[in-house]
Amino acid sequence: MINIQSDFSLKTHNTFGIDAKTDYFISFSTEEELLFFLNSSEIWKSQCDYLIIGAGSNILFTKDFHGIIFHSLLQSIEIEKESDEFVFIRAGSGVVWDNFVEFAVQNNLQGIENLSLIPGTVGASAVQNIGAYGVEAKDFIEKVEVIDLKTTKKLIFKNIDCNFTYRDSLFKKNQNFLVTNVTFKLRKSNFQFYLNYADLQSKLQNINNLTLIDIRKAIIEIRENKLPDYKKIGNAGSFFKNPVVEFEKYQEILYDYPNLIAYKLAEGKMKLAAGWLIEQCGWKQQRTKNVVVYPKQALVICNLGKASGKEIFDFSQKIIQSVYNQFGVSLEREVIVI
């Protein structure tokens, strides 16, 4: 049933645990419920500002939101079709991402196991093109279904039309598109594991006949060791993106910092490890009363409990400024700031 709540606290709907409010919080369990709301609600007709959130694991509220927040509870997981090698699974945007990964692993379907334990929902996996340990969601997404909130039309985008890039997509740029279902193409044979990441290799090196369960277990251990659990300490994973710079800029920094951590990209560009840049600026030792840089991963900013969104934002601004002053590199926030 569609659920419309007004003057609603978002504290349990964002992983920073910020107690911001929204004028309206609309959650729906079927596409029909959403369409009914869009076609008939006076609230929708009178409001212009709106936002779509999944699990709120990539958002920082610095103020209350005056408008409507849409929240999908679409929960189905169904096999759409199969070939000898692949299974196409269609999942509702409200499915918890890690439950979906667990489902795939338990059914011995290969592809997304390296994306275990990433907070968020299936919908957000497409919006944000989530990625970790050499894998991105886009590598396994076949198609994305959306409802255009402005026209109420249902649209389907094939992978190639989703404009997936690093932590970005058509759906992140176009706020009219509310993702309803995502279809993934997973392997049921000829598995292609992605084990290049050093931590992963060392955890798995002594295991013969590697299974998806082994890989999922290793990824969960690596993440639990490096990243804070938002249920215990508020955070949104990587706060910043790893910046991409020209090769000349990389060489310039490397000259002064021979231990710079960077990865080669296409077209001669280099992706720098933002966590390393932030650590070099001395941020791992720094905190305010309510905000801290996570000691094991400088890319993560944590709410020690009572921080306001503004306090976290201001803290992140200081980090951006100091990285710029030291390296001449502009960090971009990965989290969406409201």
Which residues here bind ligand EPU, judged by CB under 6 A?
A: 132-133, 226-227, 237-238, 241-242, 261, 273, 275-276, 279, 297-299, 334
Nearer of residues 149 and 228 to ligand EPU, judged by Cβ: 228
For the CB of residue 9, give the shortest distance to ligand EPU in the complex, in Å: 24
Catalytic residues: 167, 238, 334
Q: Which of 73, 76, 75, 69 is CA-nearest to residue 14?
A: 69
Q: Are 63 and 316 in contact (CB under 8 A)?
A: no
CB 265 → ligand EPU: shortest distance, Å?
A: 13
142, 159 Cβ separation under 8 angstroms: yes
Task: Determine the Cα–Cα distance for residues 269 and 293; give it in Å rounded to an integer.
Answer: 28
| Exposure class string for 268-280: b at 16+ Cβ within 10 A, else e | eebbbbbbbbbbb
Under 8 Å between Cβ of 335 and 119? no
User: Shortest distance, CB of residue 279 to ligand EPU, whole angstroms?
Assistant: 4
Closest separation in Å from C-beta 276 to ligand EPU: 4
- Which residue's structure tokens are 């369409």? 35
CB neighbours (10 Å) of residue 6?
A: 12
Q: 152 or 225: whose CB is closer to ligand EPU?
A: 225
Task: Please identify, using beta-carbon distances, which residue of 116 and 183 lies nearer to ligand EPU.
Answer: 116
Task: State the DSSP H helix or E strand holding residue 234, giving kind and residue range, or none if neither.
Answer: strand 234-238
